C-alpha cells in the first residue's frame, strides 16, 4: 500500500494541533499520581472512543490500550506514552497550572499523552493505508512503581505481539522538536535497597557499652563507595548511592538502630544479582566485626533500556525524511536515569527516542518544568510517520 504524501500528513497534524494543545493543557491541569490516574484514564478513553478504535478492557485499572486495524494481522507497530505525574508543587504561572495541590506533570507525561492521542486521531484517517495494526498504549505508574513492567506482564503486548515498539520522552536542553537516540543502552537499570542495622544503645558518655549503628552505617557507606571501582571494570558504569539515612533521637544518646536506603544503577543486565551479593557481603562482614545484626532488602526494579539498532536506524531515516538531515542527533552516551519503557523492548525490537523541548527548558522533575507546546506537532508527526513507514 502507498504511503500518504508527507504534505498530507503535515496538513492533518496542523488541523488537529489546536485540539492536541487543549488536550495537553487539560491533562497538565489535572495531574494524578501513579496508579491513581483514574480521571486521566477516563479522559483518554473518551477521546479514543470518539475515534471508534478498538479499546481493550484495562489490564491495571488505569491503563488504556487501543487498536487501529486490529484485524490486520500482517504487522503491528506499538506506540507508548506514560500518563502519571509527580508529587511536586508546581511553581509555573501557566494558565493551565495544576489544580491538584502538590501534584504536577513535572516529567512531561502530559505532552507524551497528548502526542499519542494526536497520533491516534491522525492515523485513524489513514487506516486504509496501513498494512497492519497500530497499538496505542497509555501506561500508568512510570514514576517509581514500574507500571511498564506490570502492564507487559499482564499481557498488554499480546494478541498480536508487536513487530516494533516506539516511545518518546521530552528532553530539556535539546533543540525544540528535534530527535535523538542511540543503539544499545539508552537508560540504566535502577535497583533499590534498604539496610537496617541493629546495635546496642547507650549514653554518649559511655560509648564502650554501645554497639553504635551510626558508626557501623558510616563504615558500610564507605565500603559501598568502593564497589564500582574494586568489583567492576573502569570501562563499565556502576553507581551505588546512599540517599537516606535515619538514626537517633537525641544529641547525647547512642541509638540502637539505624536505617539507610538508596539506589544502584548499571547498564549490564547481569550486574543486579552481583551487586546484591557484594553489598550483602560487605554488610555482613562489618556488622560481624562490631557485633551488630542487620536486615537487608534488595529490589531489582527497572532494567536497562536497550534500544534495538535496526529500530533506531529506521527512526533516524524517518526523521531525516520528514524533518531534514539536521533533525536527528545520535547520542554518544546513555544516561544514568531509568525508564520502564525498558520492559516494552525487553522481548521486542524497539527504540526509546528523546524529543527536544528547547535549550532553555527547565529540567525534568523540577517545579518550573512545562512541556513545550512547540514540540507537539513534530512529536505527533513522528509517531505517525513511524507507523506509516513501517506498515506501508
Per-residue pLDDT reduced to its tens digit, 284-340: 999 999 999 999 999 999 999 999 999 999 999 999 999 999 999 999 999 999 999
Q: 1 pLDDT exceeds 80?
A: no
Instruction: Based on the fold, state whether residues 309 and 295 are members of the same structural domain.
Output: no
Instruction: Based on the fold, state whether residues 377 and 248 are members of the same structural domain.
Output: no
Q: State mean pLDDT over 135-161.
A: 97
User: For 355, phi and psi rounded to 5 degrees?
Assistant: -115, 130
Query: Which of 250, 267, 302 is the C-terminal boundary of a domain?
Result: 302
Global pTM reads: 0.93
Per-residue pLDDT reduced to its tens digit, 264-292: 999 999 999 999 999 999 999 999 999 99
Give pLDDT, residue 379: 98
Residue 127 burial (C-beta neighbours within 10 Å; 0-12, 13-18, 19+)? middle
Q: 2 pLDDT exceeds 80?
A: no
Residue numbers of the domain that contains 79: 6-186+304-391
Q: What is the DSSP string of 13-64?
A: HHHHHHHHHHHHHHHHHS---TT--HHHHHHHHHHHHTTT-EEPPPSSSS-E
Instruction: Based on the fold, state whether residues 381 and 287 are members of the same structural domain.
Output: no
Instruction: Based on the fold, state whether residues 60 and 132 are members of the same structural domain.
Output: yes
Give pLDDT, residue 74: 87
Is residue 1 one of the residues assigned to a domain? no
Query: Which of 276, 302, 328 is the C-terminal boundary of a domain?
Result: 302
User: For 332, phi and psi rounded to 5 degrees?
Assistant: -80, -35
- How confident is residue 32, by pLDDT bands cut at 50, 70 and 90? very high
Query: Which of 257, 273, 302 is the C-terminal boundary of a domain?
Result: 302
Give pLDDT, residue 143: 95
Per-residue pLDDT reduced to its tens digit, 193-240: 999 999 999 999 999 999 999 999 999 999 999 999 999 998 899 999
| Count of the separate structural domains present in the chain | 2
Is residue 128 one of the residues assigned to a domain? yes
Burial 288-305 (b: 16+ CB within 10 A, else e): eebebebebebeebbbbb
C-alpha to C-alpha distance for 220 and 287, rounded to whole angstroms: 9
Name the residue with cell 515498539: 165
Instruction: Based on the fold, state whether residues 51 and 143 are members of the same structural domain.
Output: yes
Q: State mean pLDDT over 34-50.
A: 97
User: For 99, phi and psi rounded to 5 degrees?
Assistant: -95, -5
147, 20 Cβ separation under 8 angstroms = no
Q: What is the CATH number of the domain that holds 378?
A: 3.40.630.10
Is residue 31 one of the residues assigned to a domain? yes
In this structure, the strands spanning 179-181 and 328-330 are: parallel
- How confident is residue 73, by pLDDT bands cut at 50, 70 and 90? confident
Amino acid at each position: 500500500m502507498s504511503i500518504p504524501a508527507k504534505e498530507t500528513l503535515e496538513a492533518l497534524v496542523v488541523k488537529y494541533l489546536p485540539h492536541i494543545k487543549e488536550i495537553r493543557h487539560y491533562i497538565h491541569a489535572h495531574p494524578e499520581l501513579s496508579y491513581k490516574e483514574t480521571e486521566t484514564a477516563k479522559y483518554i478513553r473518551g477521546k479514543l472512543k470518539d475515534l471508534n478504535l478498538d479499546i481493550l478492557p484495562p489490564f491495571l485499572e488505569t491503563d488504556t490500550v487501543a487498536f487501529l486495524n486490529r484485524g490486520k494481522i500482517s504487522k503491528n507497530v506499538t506506540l507508548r506514552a506514560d500518563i502519571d505525574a509527580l508529587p511536586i508543587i508546581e511553581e509555573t504561572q501557566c494558565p493551565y497550572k495544576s489544580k491538584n495541590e502538590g501534584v504536577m506533570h513535572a516529567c512531561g507525561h502530559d505532552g507524551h499523552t497528548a502526542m499519542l492521542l494526536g497520533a491516534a486521531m491522525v492515523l485513524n484517517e489513514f487506516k486504509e493505508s496501513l498494512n497492519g495494526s497500530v497499538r496505542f498504549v497509555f501506561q500508568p505508574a512510570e514514576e517509581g512503581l514500574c507500571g511498564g513492567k506490570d502492564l507487559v506482564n499482564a499481557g498488554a503486548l499480546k494478541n498480536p505481539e508487536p513487530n516494533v515498539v516506539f516511545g518518546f520522552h521530552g528532553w530539556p536542553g535539546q533543540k525544540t522538536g528535534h530527535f535523538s537516540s542511540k543503539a544499545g543502552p539508552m537508560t540504566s537499570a535502577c535497583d533499590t535497597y534498604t539496610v537496617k542495622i541493629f546495635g546496642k544503645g547507650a549514653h554518649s558518655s559511655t560509648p564502650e557499652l554501645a554497639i553504635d549503628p551510626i558508626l557501623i552505617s558510616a563504615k558500610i557507606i564507605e565500603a559501598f563507595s568502593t564497589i564500582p571501582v574494586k568489583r567492576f571494570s573502569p570501562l563499565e558504569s556502576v553507581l551505588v548511592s546512599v540517599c537516606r539515612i535515619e538514626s537517633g533521637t537525641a544529641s547525647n544518646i547512642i541509638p540502637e538502630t539505624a536505617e539507610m536506603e538508596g539506589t544502584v544503577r548499571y547498564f549490564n543486565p547481569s550486574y543486579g544479582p552481583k551487586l546484591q551479593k557484594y553489598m550483602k557481603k560487605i554488610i555482613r562482614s562489618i556488622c560481624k566485626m562490631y557485633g551488630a545484626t542487620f536486615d537487608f532488602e534488595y529490589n531489582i526494579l527497572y532494567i536497562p533500556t536497550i534500544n534495538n539498532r535496526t529500530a533506531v536506524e529506521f527512526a533516524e531515516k524517518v526523521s531525516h525524511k520528514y524533518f531534514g538531515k539536521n533533525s536527528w542527533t545520535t547520542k554518544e552516551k546513555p544516561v544514568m536515569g531509568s525508564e520502564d519503557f525498558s520492559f516494552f523492548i525487553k522481548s521486542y525490537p524497539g527504540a526509546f527516542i528523546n524529543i527536544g523541548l528547547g535549550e532553555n527548558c527547565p529540567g525534568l522533575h523540577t517545579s518550573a518544568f512545562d512541556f513545550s507546546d512547540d514540540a507537539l506537532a513534530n512529536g505527533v508527526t513522528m509517531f505517525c510517520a513511524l507507523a506509516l513507514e513501517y506498515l506501508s
